[in-house]
Structure 1
């Protein structure tokens, strides 16, 4: 089963900012009832990685790197396979 790390946006009070609350690139709300995005969070289903930052793009970039590392397998195993010539 592949690991997941969904992005979630949050208001300053910690409440979830719904997906229909659109924002400008600087996190200013475009929805009239939204106080604005304070931070974006991603938590991996592996249980060993999470990130919470203001920059949504940065969180997404780090999330993609982390998820890609899961598909590469453990470094020790990769090194053993190289020694065997496989």
Structure 2
């Protein structure tokens, strides 16, 4: 099963900032009830975890980590054909 990476924004009290809370390009919240994004956390199902104040940097680290995860082994009929191949060479 392939690993899954997620990116979540958090308020200063560690609560998750919902996707409905939009921000300006400078990072200020436009939603009236949002106290603002304090940090962004990137996490993977393999146990890797990264957090920093910058959303862009956390996303770059998440993408970089995804390249280090092993690719899932293919399954199904092609693998069976390769295993059962009888080449007359």
TM-score range, shorter chain: 0.7 to 0.9
Checking the alignment, whether the CA contact within 8 Å between 1:27 and 1:38 is kept in structure 2 is no
What SS does the aligned partner of 1:40 have? strand
Which structure has the bigger radius of gyration?
Answer: 2
What SS does the aligned partner of 2:25 have? coil
- Counterpart of 1:7 in structure 2 is 7
1:27 Cα shift?
2.4
Structure 2, unpaired ranges of 5+: 73-89
- Counterpart of 1:33 in structure 2 is 33
More helix per residue: 1 or 2? 1
1:72 Cα shift?
6.2
Q: For the aligned residues, what is the CA RMSD? A: 1.6
TM-score normalised according to structure 2 size: 0.74
What SS does the aligned partner of 1:58 have? helix
Number of paired residues? 72
TM-score normalised according to structure 1 size: 0.76
